[in-house]
Amino acid sequence: MTYCVAMKLKDGLIFASDTRTNGGIDHISTYRKLFYFKNEDREIVIQSAGSLATTQSVIAKINQNIKDNTDNNILKIPTLFEISQIVGTILRETIIESKSELIDTSTLSCSLLLGGYIANNEPELYNIYSEGNFIIANEETPYFQIGENKYGKPIIDRIVNYTTDLENALKCTMISFDSTIMSNLSVGLPIDLVVMNRKENKTTQIRVAKDNEFLLKIRKAWGQLIKENFDKVPPFPLS
């Protein structure tokens, strides 16, 4: 499995993906699931969860379109909406091509998050389904998750909204990953991270390894605080 989060907030975008893949418990590998594309007027991140074969094929086709500078070159297309349409079509066609009597559609399925900005336009974030259609993040729904999304959802639901600043949203993202990794073996470090600070027009890419001192500090502090807090919560008496 996989865990990916992307947020579109007032000050910019945050993308975080783990790197563990597994085909059964005895076949665990590390693969990048966050892909970063850039030219002079834009930055785009695509994150994937689902069939690794489908993902790799989709990303290969996107890269080939860039290399050949086809009509589907995502570094040339004028809007993120059209880019999402093209990526959605590539995804759908990849699944249709791979479908056969040996494998069904659900095994081939894959979800994508696609976000970024073009020139001075407002940043956008899309959640693209296996079927090729998609939804867009807005102020009421400022974040998407794909893959093993449930363990790490409560903390984001409690903390993040559209106006949360990037530093707090990033800290919350790390706690969300920590909770997921603690409860699910199929999600693992390192975490690939891209933060597009649109207020300062500055993008940072980091691979957060298991010995990352800040992650370790957050993990330790959060674990302790949860236990301390727990003692402060009133009991549930039975009579």
Where along the sequence are the contacts to a second copy (CB under 8 A)? 148, 150-155, 157-159, 167-168, 170-172, 174-175, 179-180, 182-184, 195, 204, 206, 214-215, 217-218, 221-223, 225-227, 229-230, 232-239
Query: With respect to a second copy, which residue has the nearer C-beta, 3 or 87?
Result: 3
Closest Cα partner for 43 from 202, 199, 206? 202
Query: With respect to a second copy, which residue has the nearer C-beta, 24 or 237?
Result: 237
Beta strands per DSSP E along the chain: 3-9, 12-17, 20-22, 28-30, 34-39, 42-50, 110-118, 124-128, 134-136, 143-147, 191-197, 202-208
**234: CB partners within 8 A, 6+ apart:** none
Look-up: residue for tokens 């085909």?
A: 23
Residue 138 CB, shortest distance to a second copy, in Å, is 19
Residue 80 CB, shortest distance to a second copy, in Å, is 24
Beta strands per DSSP E along 119-169: 124-128, 134-136, 143-147
Query: With respect to a second copy, which residue has the nearer C-beta, 85 or 180?
Result: 180
Residue 85 CB, shortest distance to a second copy, in Å, is 27
Q: Could you give the CA distance from residue 148 to residue 33 in angstroms, rounded to a whole number?
A: 13
Residue 19 CB, shortest distance to a second copy, in Å, is 17
- Looking only at the bridges linking them, the beta strands covering 42-50 and 110-118 are antiparallel
Residue 97 CB, shortest distance to a second copy, in Å, is 26
Residue 130 CB, shortest distance to a second copy, in Å, is 18
Query: With respect to a second copy, which residue has the nearer C-beta, 60 or 182?
Result: 182
Handedness of CA 73, 78, 82, 83 (dihedral sign): positive
Query: With respect to a second copy, which residue has the nearer C-beta, 57 or 179?
Result: 179
Query: With respect to a second copy, which residue has the nearer C-beta, 11 or 57?
Result: 11
Handedness of CA 52, 74, 98, 57 (dihedral sign): negative
